[in-house]
A and B are shown apart, each in its own frame.
Chain A
Amino acid sequence: MADAEEPEKKRRRIEDLTDKMAVDGGHRISGCSWDGRWNHVRKFLERPGPFTHPDFEPSPESLQFLLETCKILVIGAGGLGCELLKNLALSGFRLIDVVDMDIIDVSNLNRQFLFRSNDVGRPKAEVAAEFINSRIPGCKVLPHFKKIQDFDDSFYRQFHIIVCGLDSIIARRWMNGMLISILSYDEGVLDPSSIIPLIDGGTEGFKGNARVILPGMTACIDCTLELYPPQINFPMCTIASMPRLPEHCIEYVRILQWPKETPFGDTSLDGDNPEHIQWVFERAQERAAEFSIPGVTYRLTQGVVKRIIPAVASTNAVIAAACATEVFKIATSAYIPLNNYLVFNDVDGLYTHAFEAERKENCTACSQVPQDLQFPPSAKLQEILEYLTENSSLQMKSPAITTVLEGKNKTLYLQSVKSIEERTRPNLCKTLKELGLSDGQELAVADVTTPQTVLFKLNFTA
């Protein structure tokens, strides 16, 4: 009996020890490890469970994948970006690139916790990377002090997952468009290996949202463009002659008085220059006094001129946490990812709501369906331009319209280059017929909101 027991006991003892080690002991990877370092993470990678993703297989190799192979791109090193870098680093990700074109400002310090007052003026991406790499041994964050538009598809293709903490809808749409442009189709069927998941987070005061986008498969940014209503600007007649609110007085100075009086020479109004804001503030006070309007303050002036959105650490922490959880789920197949949109609001208690945003059949970005432009031949080109900018599903900023006429490329209108703008401006007053356009004509439209031109088909109405 004793002899039979021994090998069984021995086997169990060894198993026990190995099990204990598997949880307690760190794998000696890259020499940046200590006992128990990844215990909290490994329970989700090395144990089976009832709620895991159908593709999930517990394995000690998953951690290795995170530590040594999985490449993540973080876009933005601000309120969300700092949180994302921390969250990813402490979840086992080490190969992280971060892109941000901004430098640090003192007003960032209340929430962008990787920066200190000494860092003001330095590039966010660089300081963030330095801090994370120094605080989290083994983490290799690579900074890029650049705009996202400075990179082409060859840069973006190298990443397994991209996570955005941007503060601009234009930039989001551009990123969205980039990932859609690198999708490959085999005889009309999407090749899943060309999909780079995009996790997108956004916050404003006490509200935030996080979404999971699988380009070509799930709703993209442009599919739900109506969720981002265009910014309301005050009507010019109110600003010019009928102010009622302190904001109207401030806008008057910014839009009309500054260009007229050029108080600091030929420089444009710089919201970050306290002298400029002080000038606007004083003139706005004068205008307000003229109309007996109360409420013009320095803080309000700055807020209006810079279009400041209030921000706190807590909302960014919540949204970045949700985003990082999704990155982890997708990278490891540990759980089924969010499908696909989460909203959060903690003004009154805490409110979350997760729902599936639907793809738009004729989405300008991801549907591959040429967009329909319905206009009579007597319509002026100006009307098409207005449609492209004002339509809530398009919301283009300064579209450049080109077409092919008599076998040659012709620019119908382009705003961003002064000489071309002047040359093509008369076209705006011409009718589509006068411009030589015919029914079914294809117009190629380029805009900052997308890295690829969008094709439109002209459909003449009566």
Chain B
Amino acid sequence: ATMAATKASKEQKYDRQLRLWGDHGQETLENAHVCLINATATGTEILKNLVLPGIGAFTIVDGHTVSGEDAGNNFFLSNNSIGRNRAQAATELLQELNGDVSGNFVEESPDKLLDNDPEFFHRFTIVIGVQLPESTCLRLGSVLWNASVPFLICKTYGLIGYMRLVVQEHTVIESHPDNALEDLRLDQPFEEFKNHTNSYDLDSMDKKDHSHTPWIIIVAKYLEKWLSEHNDQLPKNYKEKEAFRQTIREGIIKTDGGVPEDEENFEEAIKNVNTALNLTKVCGVIQLIFYHSSCVCRVFSLIHLPVRGTIPDMIADSQKFINLQNVYREKAMQDAAAVSKHVECLLRSVGKPPESISEKDIKLFCKNASFLRVVRCRSLAEEYSVDSVNKDEIASYMDNPDSEMVFYLMLRAVDRFYQQHSRYPGVYNYQVEEDINKLKVCVNSLLQEYSLSVNIKDDYIHEFCRYGAAEPHTVSAFLGGSAAQEAIKIISHQFVPFNNTFIYNAMSQTSATFQL
């Protein structure tokens, strides 16, 4: 009884987000264990946006003690916790946000863990590293890459936010595209659809039926006529499509006086001609997926995808609409069953039990066949290595010296400064001026090492000294929301994560995504 009550209250609590990623998406969150390294303001803001929606568990890894500065910009560190270990202090106040979540902490620096127990990190669904120096990022990046654990690196530096996603291969079945084209197959009508259209005779219908016939049927009927008169060629260019629309327009019932009646369904047909005649083909991205991964739809890759089975709402009476909808639904079910059979064969051929891939998953896959996405990020090693650095991307963006790319380069330069001086530039007021030249040296050595002939304006070097490695709360909060949602995408395999570097500039409220 208590389990049912908890389930009901969770459904109420999470209602607004369940409408976005569904119960199955929520389940993936509740089974996830997130690791946060460094409970700085950015870190706790990210974690807050994961704890609130109910991830299963989190573990904070942080060897630092809470400073006065920390307690000043962090909602989850009170001034009473100054002097205590930061992981422990933050865990308390983050845990308090949501009793469904289990919070843990490790009072240790990530470098120590990498020295003594690198497999510690293998248990996590995703590792989020915040305000980490370059050396730690690279070490951790390598461990996580080899263990196939997604790694999200985040940094707030003054008014700049930075995120880097490191994941080898991330598949997305449910990408939930904003503007998806319908899958109507009007250019290649299947048997059952043809039979259904044949059951309509527009010329002999009474007016009420005529005005409430779904536009899909109307287009199909007039297309049939067009094809028979045009050597089986679909209307291709604007002129032909306009002529085709005209044939439909002429089909509108007229009064005795020859005035066309008000038939909204015909207007819908005319309006939809453009998109309705889209050729059913497997789009380029999907072909790539089929080629690379062991995707079960290989059998469909040369012909067409399984029918999606949904139709948009349209002017029609209930019966005509439902009957038409059922034609598509039944075809979709047939196609999914065929895919299922092939999946079973494939599984058997590799010695796996047929239940390894569920019916539910196959149906979901088929329904989303046009929207499958794969994200593959380059490793950190590839990004940082002189041999494989993405010079072209960097140089082309830097054609505009004020592009967000300059902040990426400045962050790399600042990392270099830290390596050399064991501190960040301009932390104390008296350092700001003198660090400008030191930072400039780092910038130049960075550009030289990677043979980048780009120009970085002095203003940016000055500004980065001015920042003094500050972590203002509002910028941390912006990253907190952004990073948390990317983590949710990785955990739930719904919606598409960025690939692979994101820069946010709070000065101008602009952002950019680079593939480095």
**A interface residue numbers (CB < 8 A to B):** 15-16, 19-20, 22-24, 26, 34-41, 43-44, 46-51, 83, 86-87, 90-91, 106-107, 109-111, 113, 135-137, 205-206, 210, 242-245, 291-293, 299, 302-303, 308-322, 324-326, 328, 335, 338, 342, 345-350, 352, 354
Interface string of B346-387 (1 = CB under 8 A from A): 000000000000000000000000000000000000000000
Contacts of B45 in A (CB 8 A): 317
Q: How far is the CB of A311 from chain B (nearest CB, A)?
A: 4
Q: How far is the CB of A94 from chain B (nearest CB, A)?
A: 13
Contacts of B480 in A (CB 8 A): 317, 321
Cβ of B19 and Cβ of A303 under 8 Å apart? yes
Cβ of A40 and Cβ of B178 under 8 Å apart? no
Q: How far is the CB of A242 from chain B (nearest CB, A)?
A: 5
Cβ of B428 and Cβ of A20 under 8 Å apart? yes
Interface contacts beyond A244-B322, A319-B481, A325-B474: sample of 19 additional A-B pairs, CB < 8 Å, sorted by A: A19-B430, A34-B79, A35-B68, A40-B471, A86-B473, A106-B13, A110-B16, A292-B318, A293-B322, A299-B19, A315-B481, A321-B481, A322-B474, A324-B474, A335-B507, A338-B508, A347-B178, A349-B498, A354-B508
Contacts of A302 in B (CB 8 A): 15
Cβ of B463 and Cβ of A39 under 8 Å apart? no
> How many pairs of residues, A versus B, come closer than 8 Å at their CB atoms?
246
Known contacts A49-B462, A206-B495, A303-B19; is-contact A291 B75 (Cβ 8 Å): no
Cβ of A110 and Cβ of B316 under 8 Å apart? no
A50, A113, A325: the one contacting B478 at CB < 8 Å is: A325
Contacts of A46 in B (CB 8 A): 429
13 residue pairs A–B, Cβ–Cβ below 8 Å: A20-B428, A34-B72, A34-B82, A40-B41, A47-B432, A90-B74, A110-B16, A205-B20, A322-B474, A324-B477, A325-B478, A335-B159, A347-B496
User: CB of B244 within 8 A of chain A?
Assistant: no
Contacts of B141 in A (CB 8 A): none
Residues facing A in B443-500 (CB within 8 A) are 459, 462-463, 466-468, 470-475, 477-478, 480-482, 484-486, 488, 495-499
Cβ of A350 and Cβ of B318 under 8 Å apart? no
Q: Which 4 A-B pairs have the closest CB atoms?
A: A317-B481, A36-B68, A318-B481, A321-B477
User: CB of B201 within 8 A of chain A?
Assistant: no
Cβ of B463 and Cβ of A36 under 8 Å apart? no
Contacts of A34 in B (CB 8 A): 68, 71-72, 79, 82
Contacts of A205 in B (CB 8 A): 20
Docked complex Cα distance between A136 and B75 (Å): 8
User: CB of B162 within 8 A of chain A?
Assistant: no
Q: How far is the CB of B401 from chain A (nearest CB, A)?
A: 13
Task: Give the most central of A15, A342, A346: most B CB within 10 Å.
Answer: A346
Contacts of A243 in B (CB 8 A): 318
Q: How far is the CB of B152 from chain A (nearest CB, A)?
A: 13
B316, B318, B475: the one contacting A325 at CB < 8 Å is: B475
Cβ of B72 and Cβ of A36 under 8 Å apart? yes
Cβ of A317 and Cβ of B430 under 8 Å apart? no
User: CB of B509 within 8 A of chain A?
Assistant: yes
Docked complex Cα distance between A290 and B177 (Å): 33
Contacts of B12 in A (CB 8 A): 106-107
